[in-house]
């Protein structure tokens, strides 16, 4: 069984659909039983969507603040590339 901290480590590959199918299934099983991780992964997906659909200046300032702290504390340890992308975004605003 996967643990919550494993989910954090697999998240990026999962959302990018790079996990092996058996691993992906295990992750989905964990999500079915763990509302915390499910909420986390949904926020992550939302963030990824925002980052691909929106230009930096289209993100409202209060959302930028939330995103910044979310990315910095939750995502940056697993996805340094994502953090880099947003950091440049935030610093220009
Ligand atoms: Zn969990």
- What does the pLDDT read at residue 78? 67
CA of 89 to the centre of ligand 1 (A): 30
Q: Which of the residues in the chain have pLDDT under 70?
A: 54, 56, 78-83, 85-93
Question: In the chain, how many domains are there?
Answer: 1
- What is the rounded distance in angstroms from the CA atom of residue 6 to the CA atom of residue 13? 12
- What does the pLDDT read at residue 88? 65
CA of 28 to the centre of ligand 1 (A): 10
Q: Is the pTM of this model over 0.85?
A: no
CA of 16 to the centre of ligand 1 (A): 19
Structural domain including 63 reads: 4-91
- What is the rounded distance in angstroms from the CA atom of residue 1 to the CA atom of residue 69? 30
Which residues are CB-neighbours of 64 under 8 A, at least 6 positions away?
90, 93
């Amino acid at each position: 069984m996967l643990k919550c901290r494993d989910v954090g480590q697999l998240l990026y590959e999962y959302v990018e659909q790079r996990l092996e199918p058996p691993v992906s299934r295990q992750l989905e099983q964990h999500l079915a039983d763990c509302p915390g991780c499910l909420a986390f992964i949904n926020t992550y997906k939302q963030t990824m969507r925002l980052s691909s659909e929106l230009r930096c200046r289209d993100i409202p300032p209060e959302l930028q603040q939330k995103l910044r702290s979310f990315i910095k504390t939750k995502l940056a340890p697993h996805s340094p590339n994502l953090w880099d992308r947003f950091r440049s975004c935030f610093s220009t605003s």
